[in-house]
Structure 1
Amino acid sequence: MTKKVLITGFTGQVGSQLADFLLDQTDYEVVGMMRWQEPMDNLYDLTGRINNKERVSVFYADLNDFSAIARMLEEVRPDFIYHLAAQSYPKTSFNIPIETLQTNIIGTANLLEGIRQLKEKNGFDPVVHVCSSSEVYGRAKPGEVLNEDTKFHGASPYSISKIGTDYLGQFYGEAYGIKTFVTRMGTHSGPKRSDVFFESTVAKQIALIEAGFQEPIIKVGNLSSVRTFQDARDAVRAYYLLSQESYKGNVPCGETFNIAGEDAYKLPEVIDLLLSFSSRHDIKVETDSERLRPIDADYQMFDNTKIKSFIDWEPEIPTSKMFKDLLDHWRDEIKKGKVPLNR
């Protein structure tokens, strides 16, 4: 029988690219959970298949509505659940802390509690990937390499919400035997990356400047951060491989994994690399105080040893290609007449 996959956060960069991967690499049926008013920009390449019911469909629900989550689980009964939905913007979380905590913590609890109740009712037993974040480590010390045992340090309402998400994934696995695993993904990017994230807003601004919609000045926030980058398309491959090992019983319930790129950049180096792909040589960079966070995660370097001991995986897409693809994505959007906000 063909297996079913449920993806929460279906309309996001990672959710939509995970759907692309699964449709291309497996014979699974894919169900994407979304709220009815969410933008469809990242799904236009799939709308034909969705309309024709070719192995992919949409289920409208909201993480904050337990009855909708319970109905979705009962009707879909997926073999695999990739829980990617979240309020995922750290800087935005300072402005909407309650919504961030509600969606990411209580929303995750709604999903996991719905799974627990259905498991007790009739043996429902899916593999559940809970997507946490490298932001759980917060403000790491310069030179510190982050592994799965590194102490958490909430540096934003978002990071605190993901600490709660992380613990929920572990708890429901350990307490109720639900086949959960938790990933703490470092900075990931590439095509479809939201423009609220650093490298994407820089790429978007370059594309706007090239098209004549912005003066040749890139506005940025804190540039003192050092972090690794990986392409989200590499990350979804790791998600899939971990889910397969969990299905086979090779991943203990509630296990946690770092997953990050292995190329480290200072943020000014990211700007220089993106600018190297442009024919414009008059672009300047200015700090915009409105783009600064009250607290920032300035240093994020990760140890991928654990995940590599469970799956045969390593990042394959060069970061230079990832950044180039991201810039080309914004160029293509603008050519289509989709002029984005300057934020």
Structure 2
Amino acid sequence: MNIKNHNLLKNFKNKKIIITGNTGFKGSWLSLIFAYCGAKVLGISYGKTTNPSLFHVLKLNNRIKCANIDVKNYTKFKNKVETFKPDFIFHLAAEAIVKRAYAKPLLTWETNTLGTINLLEILRTTNHKIVTVFITSDKVYRNEEIFRGYKETDILGDYDPYGASKASADLAIQSYTKSFLYKKNNLRIGIARAGNIIGGGDWSEGRLLPDIIKNWSKNKKLIIRNPNSTRPWQHVFEIISGYLILALRLKKQKLLNGQSFNFGPSSKNSIRVIDIVKYLKTKWVNAKFKIKRNKNLKEASLLKLNSNKSKKLLKWKTKLTLTKTLDYTIDWYREYYKNPKKIYQYSLDQLQIYFNLK
């Protein structure tokens, strides 16, 4: 089945959709899906992209409308939203790299927290019908090394600038929703929490899979800074399907308004960084790595989400094993470096295969 006719994706045809952070990794995949399925998309982003950039590799600037607006600029942000009159908003704009958050904490707090509050204030004053999915992070939870996995009701807030700023944004969403937005029948609000998302086209700084690709594609040795960290590795398609399901369920079910949802992989996908590297080493010729611990950069050793709520209330489920997740990712990069001119069609082919899985 062509994904344009998929039971989930066909609901967005001709809908007006704003994606903030559209030039990022997840934002680019969302842009591709919506544009291909016939939605009217406006991307709002600001600043530099990675080099290479998935957004530019897929030539998405020719497929959707784009606005160079900083979400910290309330007036410009508000004017663009009011003019476009979206049916859906997916708020992904963020400073999302832990290392960069330590280097630029003020920018991180302003973008992640104030940028979110600006959108909430825009929603508070609008009369247009809008479903908004706020994307936060698994790192919003206070680091207590919970083996069962963090539930939506667990305590938010941790010490690192990225996690703390996203937790603050998350709390702001809850505050605005309970104080103002729940009274407005024209609005539906949902919070999506996920993390350690991998897939083709991510060249972000300080992330494991992009670091592997950037080094091994140039026959360089990979440096691992935190080998024993356990992460819930998950393919970007799994997360995006969660965002889309949440958006449609919010539109139809008022009782879900204002609620938070975790989107995490099977417990079998939660393994150590070193185990991921060792597996990928068997898939790449002349791959080398070295462990060099970073004692100054603090990150939680165990980050695992409990997604029972999403599975029960949204009927969301994961489709890919860890092996398939890694293979999808490696295959995409291999195709890109072999024939970048065909990567747009290859990306659509991957989406086609994924969304037709049962």
TM range (shorter): 0.7 to 0.9
- The question of 1:268 aligning with 2:274 is answered yes
Query: How far has the Cα of 1:28 moved from its partner?
Result: 2.1
- The question of 1:179 aligning with 2:193 is answered no
- The question of 1:79 aligning with 2:90 is answered no
- Separation of aligned partners in 2, 1:335 and 1:196: 24
Specify the code of the residue in structure 1 equivalent to 2:291: E
SS in 2 for 1:191: coil
C-alpha change, 1:272 and 1:110, in structure 2 (3 Å) is same
Identity rate of aligned residues, in percent? 23
- Structure 1's unaligned 5+ residue stretches are 338-343
Post-superposition CA distance 1:142-182 (Å, at most 9, x none): 52421111122413100010011111222222222242111
C-alpha change, 1:326 and 1:335, in structure 2 (3 Å) is same
SS in 2 for 1:128: strand
- Separation of aligned partners in 2, 1:91 and 1:38: 16
- Separation of aligned partners in 2, 1:323 and 1:107: 33
Query: How far has the Cα of 1:331 moved from its partner?
Result: 4.7
Give 2:45's aligned residue.
34
Query: How far has the Cα of 1:330 moved from its partner?
Result: 4.5
RMSD: 2.3
Specify the code of the residue in structure 1 equivalent to 2:65: S
User: Alignment partner for residue 304 of structure 1, among 307, 310, 314?
Assistant: 307
- Separation of aligned partners in 1, 2:293 and 2:29: 32
Q: How does 1:194-205 map to 2 (within 5 A)?
A: 194-205=204-215
Give 1:43's aligned residue.
55
Query: How far has the Cα of 1:60 moved from its partner?
Result: 2.1
- Separation of aligned partners in 1, 2:70 and 2:129: 22
Specify the code of the residue in structure 2 equivalent to 1:185: A
C-alpha change, 1:208 and 1:322, in structure 2 (3 Å) is farther
SS in 1 for 2:290: strand
C-alpha change, 1:243 and 1:267, in structure 2 (3 Å) is same
- Structure 2's unaligned 5+ residue stretches are 1-12, 341-358
Q: How does 1:279-290 map to 2 (within 5 A)?
A: 279-280=285-286, 283-287=288-292, 289=294
Post-superposition CA distance 1:45-91 (Å, at most 9, x none): 553x753xx6x211221111111101111111101000001000112
Post-superposition CA distance 1:179-232 (Å, at most 9, x none): 2111111321111222421232123222221xxxx2xx3211111211211101
Give 1:132's aligned residue.
136
C-alpha change, 1:256 and 1:186, in structure 2 (3 Å) is same
Q: How many residues are matched? A: 319
Contact 1:3-1:79 at 8 Å conserved across structures:
yes
C-alpha change, 1:259 and 1:271, in structure 2 (3 Å) is same
Q: How does 1:15-26 map to 2 (within 5 A)?
A: 15-24=27-36, 26=37
Q: TM-score, normalised by structure 1?
A: 0.85
C-alpha change, 1:320 and 1:208, in structure 2 (3 Å) is farther
Specify the code of the residue in structure 2 equivalent to 1:180: I
SS in 2 for 1:227: strand
Q: TM-score, normalised by structure 2?
A: 0.82
